[in-house]
Structure 1
Amino acid sequence: MKFRNFKLVGYVIFGRGAFNQLDEILAPQRKGDAPMIFFVDQFFKDKPAFTGRIPLQGKDKVVFIDVTHEPKTKYVDQLRDELKAEFGQVSGIIGIGGGSTMDMAKAVSLMMTNPGSSADYQGWDLVKQPGVYKAGIPTLSGTGAEVSRTTVLTGPTRKLGMNSDYTPFDQIVLDPELIKDAPINQRFYTAMDCYIHCVESLEGTYLNAFSRSYGEKALELCQEIFLKKPHWDDDADEKLMMASYAGGMSIAYSQVGVAHAVSYGLSYVLGTHHGVGNCIVFDKLEEFYPQGVKEFKEMVQRHNVTIPQNITKGMSAADVDKMIDVSLSLAPLWENALGKDWQQQMTRERLRDLYAKL
């Protein structure tokens, strides 16, 4: 048996106020006058109290990342081209925001040193050169993007990550203060990404003691935060940040499952954001994850969150076929969920019926 030898994040700092050490952390990574580029979620564009804390020096630049849509390969290539035209070389790229912003930072870091289009690297272990230095600083928690070896991108023909040992961040800064003011719905959808991929990991065929240890802890933290706490507080911020980290670690040696596989199709065709897309799908997956879906519905009710319904109603047959194509291309996710004979179980017609429920 051949075991996966996977790359972890280089350095981790955790704690309230950890963001204040960013200047000190970046200092040894600066190369001459080559700037640090800060990719910042556009949510912070008109929030100078936050952006003023970014430790800019010399030619450093803040680039506000448009997260209206999930990261696209053409956006990655555009930013890479603009940075190369303006600076030639950069010392590093720092992603500050949710999963989409951190994924953009990882992707552009890799494309500063690898030729062609980012669409050429959608898949497993296609990246051949290390990127420039990259750091991730989450201001939302749940996706696990801060620890994963992928950067999920929508390309010309599919939605698929750049999965490689060169993708993980060199440094992550986990500061619970940064997630305290997240909009309630957005916080919930993103946190449920963590909850859902823990359920999928723990009930998957790829499960081993490594992924189980992290997944069980992340699931326990989500249950405590969303089912037991009477109200949101600082302790919830800290626990959610660690649930995201542990959940991301769980799927490093495992995989996600049905909800993610189906959600990728929604995202590709309808542009549905990852967190809310997972919630839309998971809400209808009782036949696959009965206990997880029951708990999820209780969390939705307790926190008074609305899950969109009937989003596929009236879609053309061609668009539904495209969603099915994208979903079925994610073989590792289906195999983890259903086993090696997944293609006999998840036929196109069964998947078409599932999309019709959404």
Structure 2
Amino acid sequence: MVSRVVFGRGSFNQLSDILSPKRLNVKAPFIYLVDDVFKGNAWLTSRISLAYADQVIFISADEEPKTSQVDQLVEQIILSHKDRPSGIIGIGGGTILDLAKAVAIMLTNPGESKDYQGWDLVKTPAIYHVGVPTISGTGAEVSRTTVLTGPEKKLGINSDYTPFDQVILDPELTKDVPKDQWFFTGMDCYIHCVESLKGTYLNAFSQSYGEKAYDLCKEIFIDGDGSKEELQDKLMMASWHGGMSIAYSQVGAAHAMSYGLGYLLGTKHGIGNCIVFDHLEEFYPEGVALFKEMKEKHNIEIPQGICSQLSDDEFDIMIDVALGLEPLWENAIGKNWKKTITREKLKALYQKM
């Protein structure tokens, strides 16, 4: 679990006070990984207090994070500073938060980040790392994984050393998120809840968090109760609770197949989840029905036909990625999932997308 968290409008202003006791020495910098959408945005960047050798690195979130990108960032940081950093601070959406977690791990562990794609492969604790989400829904601020596309697979670094040491939840930072991005990322949270609550890994912890997040998603995307600020607060809380729910259980079929889309086509995670979930009535009938209602209410167009021109070899690549996520399928179907989740079934589903 994340050991420390603050929540509230304006809480981002506490960042320097939170970090200052964690500085190792004047030569050990804090490295800020910031979504480049904020480049030149003084409203946010002016509140980042730099001292000594501290560094801000602006990063594009246009593409899903890659293991090669993690390795390049680690090399850049090592070559730019003589001392190991005092900490890594990620400020942005799921892409930036996942990069921050992965970089913090790879600054203390040997080899390449692709070597740690999987479950519990990290042996050495990461350096101090802080997450500041600027969009709500991914749950990256609380999860024990990263979502990384590697040379052979799309799979996170899942470990007890992955979660942030500190998270700052300031709903005010989400005020300028475009509508489509707000919806797709919010649906990532909603799908987390459905997959957790309908999964075989369900337990009292995951259920309590999942039910709260699910109810908040209905309030936000169906009822629309509250002011814009209140809805921002609710979605940030839904994201946190949805992330906690899957931290104690697992995601399911939508995420497994979405990873295939992301690996082959570079489809953004939130959009990919929506593309897949739209066709999963067989697995989550009530959840998909409510999703379609949300989609219609907010006039959201889901991309269609993205797999229409793919070759058999390309379908095989996506299927291999999806089938490699065994814990997700076990949560979705049960221990005997391989009897029903065949290559032919997955190809037929992908052909609908």
Matched to 1:26, the amino acid is L
The alpha carbon displacement at 1:48 in A equals 2.3
- Rounded Cα–Cα distance in structure 2 between residues aligned with 1:36 and 1:156: 30
Q: Name which of 74, 79, 95 aligns with 1:100.
A: 95
Q: Do 2:225 and 2:231's aligned partners in 1 also have CA atoms closer than 8 Å?
A: no
Report how many residues are paired.
351
Q: Name which of 107, 110, 116 aligns with 1:112.
A: 107
Q: Name which of 39, 49, 52 aligns with 2:43.
A: 49
Partner residue, 2:152: 157
The alpha carbon displacement at 1:10 in A equals 1.4
Match status 1:28 vs 2:21? yes
Partner residue, 2:138: 143
Residues 1-358 of structure 1: pairs in structure 2 closer than 5 A: 8-33=1-26, 34-88=28-82, 89-229=84-224, 233-358=228-353
- Rounded Cα–Cα distance in structure 2 between residues aligned with 1:156 and 1:236: 39
The alpha carbon displacement at 1:262 in A equals 0.4
The alpha carbon displacement at 1:30 in A equals 0.6
The alpha carbon displacement at 1:345 in A equals 0.5
- Cα distance per residue 1:112-145 (max 9 Å; x no partner): 1101100000011111111111000000011110
5+ residue gaps, structure 1: 1-7
Matched to 1:32, the amino acid is N
- Cα distance per residue 1:40-83 (max 9 Å; x no partner): 01111132222111121121111111212111000000000010
The alpha carbon displacement at 1:16 in A equals 0.6
Please identify runs of 4+ aligned residues in structure 1 that moved more than 3 A: none
- Rounded Cα–Cα distance in structure 2 between residues aligned with 1:137 and 1:61: 16
- Rounded Cα–Cα distance in structure 2 between residues aligned with 1:325 and 1:308: 23
The alpha carbon displacement at 1:231 in A equals 7.2
Tell me, what secondary structure is at the counterpart of 2:5?
strand
- Rounded Cα–Cα distance in structure 2 between residues aligned with 1:231 and 1:284: 31
Tell me, what secondary structure is at the counterpart of 2:148?
strand
- Cα distance per residue 1:284-342 (max 9 Å; x no partner): 11111111111111111111111111110111111110000000000000000011110
TM-score (norm 2): 0.98
TM-score (norm 1): 0.97
CA RMSD of aligned residues (A): 0.9
Deviates more, 1:59-68 or 1:161-170: 59-68
Q: Kindly, what percent of the aligned residue pairs are identical?
A: 62
* Distance 1:147-1:316 versus aligned 2 partners, 3 A rule: same
5+ residue gaps, structure 2: none
Matched to 1:302, the amino acid is K
- Rounded Cα–Cα distance in structure 2 between residues aligned with 1:297 and 1:42: 32
- Rounded Cα–Cα distance in structure 1 between residues aligned with 2:126 and 2:316: 36
- Cα distance per residue 1:19-43 (max 9 Å; x no partner): 0000000001111121101100111
Matched to 1:309, the amino acid is Q
